[in-house]
Amino acid sequence: MRKAAALASAAMAAAAVAVVSTVLYQRQRRAAKRSERAVEAVLLRDLQERCAVPVELLRQVADAMAAEMRAGLAAEGGSDLQMLVTYVDSLPSGDEKGVFYALDLGGTNFRVLRVQLGGKERRVIKQDSKGISIPRHLMSSSSHELFDFVATALAKFVASEGEDCYLPEGTQRELGFTFSFPVKQTSIASGTLIKWTKSFAIDEMVGKDVVDELNMAIRRQGLDMKVTALVNDTVGTLAAGRYVDHDTIAAVILGTGSNAAYIDHAHAIPKWHGSLPKSGDMVINMEWGDFKSSHLPLTEFDQELDAESLNPGEQIYEKLISGMYMGELVRRILLKMAREAAIFGDNIPPKLERPYILRTFDMLMMHHDTSSDLRTVANKLKEVLGIEHTSFTTRKLVVDVCEAIATRGARLAAAGIYGIIQKLGQHSDIPNRRRSVIAVDGGVYKYYTFFSQCMESTLSDMLGQELAPSVVIKHVNDSSGVGAALLAASYTIA
Active-site position among 233, 264, 302, 362? 233
Q: What is the CA radius of gyration of the chain?
A: 28
Taking alpha carbons only, the member of 156, 155, 158, 151 closest to residue 99 is 158
- Eight-class DSSP state of 209: B
Q: Is 248 exposed, middle or buried (0-12, 13-18, 19+ CB in 10 A)?
A: buried
Start-to-end CA span in the chain (Å): 115
Helices 326-341 and 300-307, interaxial angle, to 10°?
Answer: 120
| Contact partners, residue 169, CB within 8 Å, separation at least 6 | none
Q: One-letter amino acid identity for 445?
A: Y
Bridge pairing between strands 190-193 and 84-85:
unpaired
Indicate which residue of 120, 195, 198, 396 is catalytic. Answer: 198
Do the beta carbons of residue 89 and residue 490 sit within 8 Å? Answer: no
Rounded CA separation 44/394 (Å): 12
3-state secondary structure 11-57: HHHHHHHHHHHHHHHHHHHHHHHHHHHHHHHHHHHHHHHHHCCCHHH
431 φ/ψ angles, rounded to the nearest 5 degrees? -60, 140
Strand partners, 473: 438
Angle (CA) 47-51-52 rounded to 5° is 115
Contact (Cβ atoms closer than 8 angstroms) between residue 33 and residue 433: no
In this structure, the chain runs to a length of: 494
Strand ranges (E), 182-290: 183-187, 190-193, 225-231, 248-254, 258-265, 281-285
What is the per-residue DSSP string for 396-448?
HHHHHHHHHHHHHHHHHHHHHHHHHHHHTT-SS--TTPPPEEEEEESHHHHH-
Task: Answer yes or no: 233 catalytic.
Answer: yes
Q: Residue 198 catalytic?
A: yes
- The residues assigned a catalytic role are 198, 233
